[in-house]
Chain A
Amino acid sequence: MVCQKCHMREANVHYTQIINGNKTELYLCSQCAEENSQITFSPQINLGKLLWGFPGFGSNTGFKEFGHHPVTRCDVCGMSFDDFRKSGKLGCANCYRVFRDNLSPILRRLHGNTEHTGKIPAKVSDTVKYTEEIERLKAELSAAVESEQYERAAELRDRIRKLENTGKNGGGE
């Protein structure tokens, strides 16, 4: 069979695309399929392909899954989760927040873990210190309220407020 796009080369890829419920079926040569789908057929290692079958990725080859779910896009860089599936690469830091639920199982498979325990940048570790201190004081505050030590409670409340403001003015996240 001849490729339905270039009408020259032999077709060797059966290409199904579903966009907004409209199904298109094409028989293409690998070159046209690549141009048509942004799916790379290059022999480089492609994380996206390796990840097929992992939880969060579905068990099918990416081809058939286009458009089956409403497309969520990163509000900063515009990347969709399908884009990530194809390339194995994300578009910006915000993608990690937008796709957190989908990424979590993948990270677990890749690293056996989903939480960072290593180096923390100085500016963040300051914020972490504030947060921890505030949480400690809040616990103390509710204990004070429970035991009706209102003077102590007021004192603690003021310290929490002060810390919260410093935290915001300091590093932020």
Chain B
Amino acid sequence: MMQDKNPVSIHDVAISSRVRLARNLEAYPFTTRMTGSQSSEILQKVRNALFSSVQADTAFTYLEMNSISPLDRQLLVEKHLISPEFANGEFSRAAIISKDEKVCIMVNEEDHLRLQCIIPGMHLDEAWKVCNDLDTKLDEKLGFAFDKTYGYLTCCPTNIGTGIRASVMLHLPALSMTGYIKNVLETCSKIGVAVRGAYGENSEASGNMFQISNQATLGQTEEEIIAGINNITTQISEQERVLRDELYKQNPMRFEDRVFRSLGLLQNARIISSEESLKLLSDVRLGAIMGLVQGIDLKKLNDLMIMIQPAYLQKVSGGQLRPEDRDQRRAELLRRMLKGSLQ
């Protein structure tokens, strides 16, 4: 993971920043019209291009989706490295993932390539730089479909032009608790900014996590789009902080009670669902940021939000688990990780 130099104040709301670029090889039809053999050829070409332009053997892992288990695919979804649609797609498809899991290239998702870079905290500019460099290198070898008027051509016209989706994952417990999140959602939709749950399209905002991203991809430069998302996320973060303080000031005892009840449940429960865990972790994270809960760092809480997911739990347990066993394993994991965190 990259070294994070920013103080807590910048990371209190923004969990991670993600930039992804949609690209297609000009020599092939889009995934909607390609044949099975073309999809395999594309995999081969992308693999060769990448592995000859960077020291990829050491830096990247190549995972062909049809040769890994559904559980392993689900794990990649939970880590936000691949999309749920990609995990269950039909063509030959592969994910090429950097060892630090910062960069992931999905080959034959909706577009031939989905290049993405995820960085913890508020770092869209950095993520764009990584994607941009990789895109330039790959384009030399692969030749991406480009039109002077329309820019980079994509399977779905919603991604045409820059092909960029810049998104920031925000933790918004105070806005959610007070119901002001509705205003945020309304405003965002008016200015063409999409708000989704933690796992992309159609997913729910579990644990008060929201993904804020640009909708339009044509007509603005990548830098302008990123500046726009930086701007809106900064404003939302600011509102969230004000509300957190306000909530605490209104009734400190009630606020603390909520945080410590949630911590108590997480530290003592014997059976717990992922939905409940996320809800409680959200409270504890808020308490940790407000300085109420000592001894738990934010990184551990952020990691836990992924570690309590079904595939991750099953992976570390070494195989399939029935849902009720998962709930017990999850409770064990949470107890172990949050042991001895008291005021």
Contacts and interface: CB of A to CB of B under 8 A. Distances in A.
B148 to A, nearest CB: 7
Interface of A: 44-45, 47, 76-79, 87-93, 96-97, 103, 106-107, 110-124, 128, 173
Contacts of A78: 33
Given A117-B220, A122-B140, A89 B147 contact: no
B281 interface: no
Nearest to B147: A96
B334 interface: no
A46 B32 CA distance: 14
B202 A45 contact: yes
Interface of B: 24, 26, 28-30, 32-33, 110, 132, 135-136, 139-140, 143-153, 155-158, 160-162, 164, 192, 201-202, 216-222, 225
Which secondary structure characterizes the binding site on chain A? loop
A115 B219 contact: yes
Given A91-B30, A96-B147, A128-B148, A112 B219 contact: yes
A113 B29 CA distance: 25
A106 B157 contact: yes
A118 B23 CA distance: 14
A88 to B, nearest CB: 6
A77 to B, nearest CB: 4
A37 to B, nearest CB: 17
A9 to B, nearest CB: 27
A77 B147 contact: no
B161 A116 contact: yes
Contacts of B152: 116, 119
A90 B139 contact: no
A116 B29 contact: no
Given A76-B29, A89-B155, A119 B149 contact: no
A120 B144 CA distance: 11
13 contacts: A44-B202, A89-B155, A90-B32, A93-B26, A93-B147, A103-B157, A111-B218, A113-B216, A114-B149, A116-B149, A116-B218, A121-B146, A124-B146
A76 B26 CA distance: 12
Contacts, number: 120
A89 B26 CA distance: 16
A140 B148 CA distance: 25
A91 B219 contact: no
Question: Which of B24, B164, B217 has the most chain A CB atoms closer than 10 A to its own CB?
Answer: B217
A11 B132 CA distance: 52
Contacts of A115: 149-150, 218-219
B145 A79 contact: no
Given A88-B156, A107-B218, A111-B219, A116 B151 contact: yes
Contact of A114 (B26, B30, B135, B218): B218
Contacts of B143: 123
Nearest to B225: A118
B215 to A, nearest CB: 8
A79 B33 contact: yes
Contacts of A123: 143
A91 B156 CA distance: 9
Contacts of A106: 157
Contact of B160 (A91, A107, A119): A107
Contacts of B202: 44-45
